[in-house]
C-alpha cells in the first residue's frame, strides 16, 4: 500500500467504495488522515464503520477539507458533487492525484503515463512487460491492473507505468510524468464532455501540459491538437518519426506474435521509445516485444477450429479501434454491433476489402446491416450466440471469425470483458 505523510491530519471525503475507492480510504487512514466515506451500498460502507466517519459528502459541510476523492466513473459534467465541492473551494480529485502527491515520499523512481483513445492498455502492458523482462522494478496501474494506491511502493530505480483515461486525467493536477504518451485522439465518451470533442481532446492533452521542463513527451504529429499542448521545455518525440527512424518493418513485427496489425506497430513504437528513453538496451527491448503475451479482449486469438481462427477483440468499442483489427486479417467473418458511439462505419470503411461476411448484433445491428447490405454478405443475428454459430457454419479453413464490434457493450453486457468472455465460451463450445 502507498501511504504519505502529506495526508496526515488532513480531511478527505471519498465518494464511491469500489476497488479504487477502498484502496484510497485504506491508504489515507494508514497515513493518519481524517476520512469521510460514502457509497450508496450499505455493504460497501460496512468495512469502514468505526474506522472513519460515514456520511454523504453531498450533505456535508466541506470546510477545511483537502479534497473530495471520487471514482473516475463519476461524470463531473452532470454529478452534483463538483458544484457542491466548489462551494467550499475543495478540489475534486482521484486516486492518481493522491499518488502524485505521495511521490516525494517514495524511493526515487520514474513515472510513465500513457493515454489516448485507443491502444493505451496494450502500450501500457507492453511497456511494463519489457521493463519487467529486463529486470527493472516496475508495476502498472491507473486504468489497468490493481488500483495504484493498493500497490506496494517500488524500490529505488522503479518505474510506475500508468494507463490514464480522460476521466482520470480530469481528476489529476500534479502528476508530472517523466515520460508522457498521447497515442491518438478520436471521438469517444463525448457524453462526459457535453458532446464537445474539443473538450475531450483537451482532457487527454492535459497529461502533457502537467509536465515540467526536461521531461519527455511522445505524441503523433498528425494530431495537431496534441502538438500545441507540449509543455514548455519538454523533450518531444513524434511517434511517426519513431516509426520511420527506428525502421520498425513488417518483417520484424512478424516476430511479435501478440502484436500484429498496423495499430500494434504504432503501440510497439511508443513502447520502444519509452523504453529507450528509460535507458534499456535494444536487445532487452526486442526480447520483450517477442515475448509479450498480449491482453485479453484485444486481438486475442481464442482458438482455431477446423482451420478457422477465432479472434476476440471485444475491446474494439469504436470504429477507430476496430479498423486496425480488420486490417490485420484477411477473409474475415466480422461480428459487428452493440451500442454505437458514433454514426456510420468511420475508419472501418477503408478496411472492408478484408471482410468476407458480416454478422450484426445488438442495438446498432440493424443500422450496420442497412449500411452494409449489397456491399458484403450480411446476417442479421441480434445476439452473439447466433453470430458465432452462423459464422462457424459459413467460415472455411483459412478464414478468421473476428469479434470486433466497433460499439460499446452496454445494450447486452455489463462491459466489454463480459462480452469477450461470452465469445470465448461460445468458441470453446465449437471444439
Active site (annotated) includes residue 394: no
Q: Which of 118, 143, 216, 229 is catalytic?
A: 143
Q: Which of 11, 110, 118, 120 is catalytic?
A: 120
Active site (annotated) includes residue 333: no
Active site (annotated) includes residue 143: yes
Q: Which of 79, 82, 109, 189 is catalytic?
A: 189
Question: Grid coordinates standing for 156?
Answer: 529505488
Give CA separation, 153 vs 10, 144, 147, 373, in Å.
Answer: 22, 17, 12, 55
- Only one residue has cell 523482462, namely 133
Give the residue numbers annotated as catalytic, written as ranges.
120, 143, 189
Amino acid at each position: 500500500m502507498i501511504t504519505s505523510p502529506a495526508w496526515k491530519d488532513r480531511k478527505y471525503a471519498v465518494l464511491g467504495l469500489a476497488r479504487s475507492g477502498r484502496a484510497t480510504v485504506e491508504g489515507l487512514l494508514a497515513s493518519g488522515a481524517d476520512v469521510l466515506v460514502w457509497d450508496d451500498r450499505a455493504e460497501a460502507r460496512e468495512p469502514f464503520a468505526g474506522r472513519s466517519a460515514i456520511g454523504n459528502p453531498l450533505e456535508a459541510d466541506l470546510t477545511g477539507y483537502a479534497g473530495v476523492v471520487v471514482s473516475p466513473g463519476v461524470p463531473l459534467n452532470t454529478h452534483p458533487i463538483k458544484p457542491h465541492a466548489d462551494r467550499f473551494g475543495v478540489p475534486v480529485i482521484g486516486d492518481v492525484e493522491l499518488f502524485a502527491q505521495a511521490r516525494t515520499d517514495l524511493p526515487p523512481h520514474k513515472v510513465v503515463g500513457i493515454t489516448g483513445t485507443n491502444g493505451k492498455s496494450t502500450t501500457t502492458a507492453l511497456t511494463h512487460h519489457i521493463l519487467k523482462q529486463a529486470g527493472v522494478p516496475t508495476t502498472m496501474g491507473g486504468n489497468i491492473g490493481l488500483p495504484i494506491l493498493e500497490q506496494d511502493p517500488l524500490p529505488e530505480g522503479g518505474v510506475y507505468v500508468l494507463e490514464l483515461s480522460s476521466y482520470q486525467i480530469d481528476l489529476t493536477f500534479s502528476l508530472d510524468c517523466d515520460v508522457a504518451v498521447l497515442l491518438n485522439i478520436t471521438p469517444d465518451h463525448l457524453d462526459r464532455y457535453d458532446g464537445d470533442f474539443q473538450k475531450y481532446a483537451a482532457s487527454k492533452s492535459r497529461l502533457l501540459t502537467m509536465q515540467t521542463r526536461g521531461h519527455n513527451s511522445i505524441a503523433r504529429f498528425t494530431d495537431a491538437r496534441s502538438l500545441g499542448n507540449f509543455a514548455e521545455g519538454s523533450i518531444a518525440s513524434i511517434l511517426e518519426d519513431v516509426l520511420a527512424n527506428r525502421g520498425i518493418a513488417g518483417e520484424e513485427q512478424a516476430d511479435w506474435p501478440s502484436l500484429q496489425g498496423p495499430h500494434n506497430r504504432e503501440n510497439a513504437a511508443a513502447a520502444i521509445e519509452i523504453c529507450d528513453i528509460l535507458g534499456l538496451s535494444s536487445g532487452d527491448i526486442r526480447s520483450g516485444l517477442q515475448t509479450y503475451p498480449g491482453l485479453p479482449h484485444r486481438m486475442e486469438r481464442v482458438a482455431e477450429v477446423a482451420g478457422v481462427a477465432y479472434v476476440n477483440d471485444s475491446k474494439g468499442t469504436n470504429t477507430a479501434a476496430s479498423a486496425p483489427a480488420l486490417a490485420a486479417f484477411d477473409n474475415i467473418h466480422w461480428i459487428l454491433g452493440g451500442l454505437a458511439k458514433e454514426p456510420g462505419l468511420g475508419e472501418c470503411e477503408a478496411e472492408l476489402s478484408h471482410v468476407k461476411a458480416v454478422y450484426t448484433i445488438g442495438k446498432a445491428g440493424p443500422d450496420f446491416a442497412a449500411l452494409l447490405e449489397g456491399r458484403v454478405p450480411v446476417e442479421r443475428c441480434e445476439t452473439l450466440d447466433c453470430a458465432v454459430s452462423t459464422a462457424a457454419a459459413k467460415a472455411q479453413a483459412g478464414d478468421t471469425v473476428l469479434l470486433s464490434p466497433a460499439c460499446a457493450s452496454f445494450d447486452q453486457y455489463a462491459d466489454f470483458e463480459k462480452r469477450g468472455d461470452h465469445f470465448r465460451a461460445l468458441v470453446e463450445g465449437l471444439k
